[in-house]
Amino acid sequence: MKRILTAGLMAAMASSASAEDVTLQLKWVTQAQFAGYYVAKDKGFYDEEGLNVTIKPGGPDIAPEQVIASGQADVITTWMSPGLAARERGVPLVNIAQPYKGQGLQLTCLKEMGVETTADFADKTLGVWFFGNEYPFYAWMAKLGLATDGSAGGVTVLKQAFNVDALLQKQAACISVMTYNEYGQVLDAGITPDQLVTFTYREEGVTVLEDGLYVMEERLEDPAFQETMVKFVRASMKGWKYAEANPDEAAQIVIDNDDSGAQSLEHQQYMMGEVAKLTATGNGALDPADYEATVAALLAAVSPDNPAITKTPEGMAWTHAITDKALAE
């Protein structure tokens, strides 16, 4: 029996030693926005693929595009707008998978501040996240024909903190929210849905793809790295589908991986329910039509305030090479 146990232990150690290391840099802090990856790690889906995955949380001072450019990550999650902006500026990122099919970005406004329709935006202060999240907003304002320099008839842009204080304190008529996070925080603060009017970017004709998986283009020249990413994407999508089917368990897994202790189970359950609406509508493969719509939206808003991209992206901004294999096996 001792000999059998020793052999089993040695086999396990050998398997661990031969596992391929993959470092994933997230766009933001540990939360259900990234549940699929934490679930894939917790449920052993990465282990089944022979991968040893390290998940690095993000934060307000962490730009995933810079992290991967400096070689500190193999793959990152980011929105397509900052991804394309980074590509144009010399960081050749490639979208290899798009777990998020839907968009969660919204602008939520207090009716008492005089906003009922987009026509009421004129001469109002609107809260906007920056660090790459501002690109969809400027694209939308350009579509509406509204100046963003605070001039008469235009809008004043408030660089919004990553909370909902600007709305609660009435510093802005509207603020940026995600369906799965800040919108819930507004409701938790005691404001009721009938006191709000909320505009969804996609419904307003501004398609800008959100959380996708990106790698550096030159690394895709290595067949071994390609195969590693096939395994990673396959396991990650298995994690996402498990999270969609088991939202409460996924929320608990997120909590278990939150070293900061800042998250509550109740909010993560709410978040997972909303996130599932955005991931369940896709299979992980990027829809070329969504890519084209994203590029069109960004190009329509080129200005000194919105230097996302200035021309149609060149080269391989996205590929189906990884998802074609990952989804077929």
Can you give the pLDDT of all 329 residues of the chain as single tens digits? 333 444 443 434 444 457 899 999 999 999 999 999 999 999 999 999 999 999 999 998 899 999 999 999 999 999 999 999 999 999 999 999 999 999 999 999 999 999 999 999 999 999 998 877 788 898 899 889 999 988 999 999 999 988 899 999 999 999 999 999 999 999 999 999 999 999 999 899 899 999 999 999 999 999 999 999 999 999 999 999 999 999 999 999 999 999 988 889 999 999 999 999 999 999 999 999 999 999 998 888 766 666 678 888 988 999 999 999 999 96
Q: What is the structure's pLDDT at 306?
A: 62
Give the largest Cα separation in the chain, rounded.
83
* Burial class, 321, CB count within 10 angstroms (exposed 0-12 / middle 13-18 / buried 19+): middle
| CA separation for the pair 151, 212 (Å, rounded) | 36
- Identify whether the C-beta of residue 252 lies closer than 8 Å to the C-beta of residue 296: no
| CA separation for the pair 281, 30 (Å, rounded) | 23
pTM, whole model, 2 decimals? 0.90
* Burial class, 24, CB count within 10 angstroms (exposed 0-12 / middle 13-18 / buried 19+): buried
- Identify whether the C-beta of residue 163 lies closer than 8 Å to the C-beta of residue 176: no
Domains of the chain listed by start with CATH number? 2-102+209-328 (3.40.190.10), 105-200 (3.40.190.10)
Q: What is the structure's pLDDT at 167?
A: 96
| CA separation for the pair 306, 147 (Å, rounded) | 12
